[in-house]
Amino acid sequence: MADPTEPLIRFAGVRKAFGPKVIYRRLDLDVFAGQTLVVMGGSGVGKSVLLKMLIRLLEADGGSIRYRGDEVTMMSERKLRELRRNIAMLFQGGALFDSLSVGDNVAYGLHEHYGKKLDRASNEERVAWALSLVDLPGIEDMRPAELSGGMKKRVALARAIALHPEVVLYDEPTTGLDPINATRVNHLINGLKRTLHVTSIVVTHDMSSAFAVGDRMAFVYQGEIIAVGDPESFRSPTDPRVADFIKGHAPEHEDVDTLLKA
Ligand SMILES: Nc1ncnc2c1ncn2[C@@H]1O[C@H](COP(=O)(O)OP(=O)(O)O)[C@@H](O)[C@H]1O
Ligand SMILES: [Mg+2]
């Protein structure tokens, strides 16, 4: 078990640029075990980059990223494979392979990480378990083309959780979904935390989702985290940059004041 007083994940002084374009001047952020951290910020500030650096889909230019105390930026290939099994990512768009059945899509990560180590029966069992967790039991034989956008999102989530990850990274999980499916995804995120004790980082600019799932929230602005704290502190933000963002991204079907006071 992780020491509950220590963060499970710690970004410290992380720098990242693409050519002349500085994304992070100094990224400091802690994620605690069993919690859902919501990361907010304008489009193009580097929210997806933050998630990708954690699993080394992108390399940080400097600073430290620790997972359970292990330095991610220095990990060997073997440790990195283990890291990617423990930290699953639900990509923006959550693309499924159209040519594969739902079951094979969900099993994809299992094949990748376990190869032939899992026999057919345990494979099928894991797939069935993951699909039932996202409330889509028994749809193994369907094709992605037959699914609605909301169902595709949930199948992508099933693919991520089939690996029994300790951490799930969600990149804009409710973007493009109608309010009903967005609410369903929020419930799933909370359900996985409750039942599997998953630690999560959720990147979103959907404010109702942010408040529905966040135990802690962080706001990225011009290369740094300029605000971090519990949801209460984000309901009445003192920093005008945070306040403007939250007011500007409240869903149209909800009254901003109700949302902020809820
Ligand atoms: N692989 C890459 N190569 C070059 N630039 C990138 C790459 N990935 C992201 N960027 C740039 O970094 C910035 C932050 O991207 P991103 O993290 O995707 O933003 P967002 O906060 O919207 O998720 C953007 O300007 C984007 O164009
Ligand atoms: Mg993004």
23-49: pLDDT as tens digits: 999 999 999 999 999 999 999 999 999
- Spatial CB neighbours of 32, under 8 Å, sequence gap ≥ 6: 4, 7, 8, 199, 216
134-158: pLDDT as tens digits: 999 999 999 999 999 889 999 999 9
- 49 C-alpha to center of ligand 1: Å? 6
Given pLDDT bands bounded at 50, 70 and 90, which one contains residue 52? very high
**Residue 63 to residues 23, 66, 78, 207: CA-CA distances in angstroms?**
14, 10, 22, 30
Q: Whose CA is nearest to atom 7 of ligand 1?
A: 18
The answer to whether the beta carbons of residues 27 and 224 sit under 8 Å apart is yes
Given pLDDT bands bounded at 50, 70 and 90, which one contains residue 257? low
- Provide residues with CB under 6 Å of ligand 1: 18, 23, 41, 43-49
Number of Cβ within 10 Å of residue 114's Cβ equals: 15
- 132 C-alpha to center of ligand 2: Å? 28
pTM attached to this predicted model: 0.91
List domains and CATH numbers for the chain.
9-45+52-261 (3.40.50.300)
**Residue 37 to residues 105, 218, 237: CA-CA distances in angstroms?**
27, 7, 17
Q: Which ligand is nearest to the CA of 18?
A: 1
Atom of ligand 1 nearest to the CA of 49: 17
207-229: pLDDT as tens digits: 999 999 999 999 999 999 999 99
